[in-house]
Amino acid sequence: MAKALVKLFRDLASAESAARELQSRGYKGTEIGLLMKDSPGTQAVSLGCGFDRAEAELPGIGHTVALGAFVPAVTAGGVRDSSLETALRQSFGLSSELYACYEFGVSLGGVLVGVQSDTTGLTMARHALKTAGAGVA
């Protein structure tokens, strides 16, 4: 069964660096996700093949861009704010309190990077996220 690991980065460059590090370690676009507030720079984000893209309105953030592993949660949430938050929380195993912290960080321009994998894969992903990107929040 897949489990999840999530880390908030201060900026898009650091988050992209972390995602590329995960890719170099063999993680696929369906296992890695990025969630960020829409801004002019987010339209240029391209992490290669296998990264689906979706956009949604998230309460507390506004217009949001989801890539990769965050896309199913964003598209499954539908149009109701509460169902979208619930889908994201359930997909990545986030408590309400932790989701609120990440929501606040993303609203300020941070980028959430998530990985879904088995337990062994998450151990390797944890190391990759710890060492990638100088802008870790």
Flag whether 76 is in a domain: yes
Q: Flag whether 136 is in a domain.
A: no
CB 115 within 8 A of CB 92: no
| Residue 132 DSSP label | S
Q: pTM here?
A: 0.84
Q: Is 9 a domain residue?
A: yes
What is the number of structural domains in the chain? Answer: 1
- 8: containing domain: 3-41+50-131
- For 78-128, how does the pLDDT look when each residue is reduced to its tens digit (9 = 90+)? 555 566 778 888 888 888 899 889 989 999 999 999 999 887 888 889 888
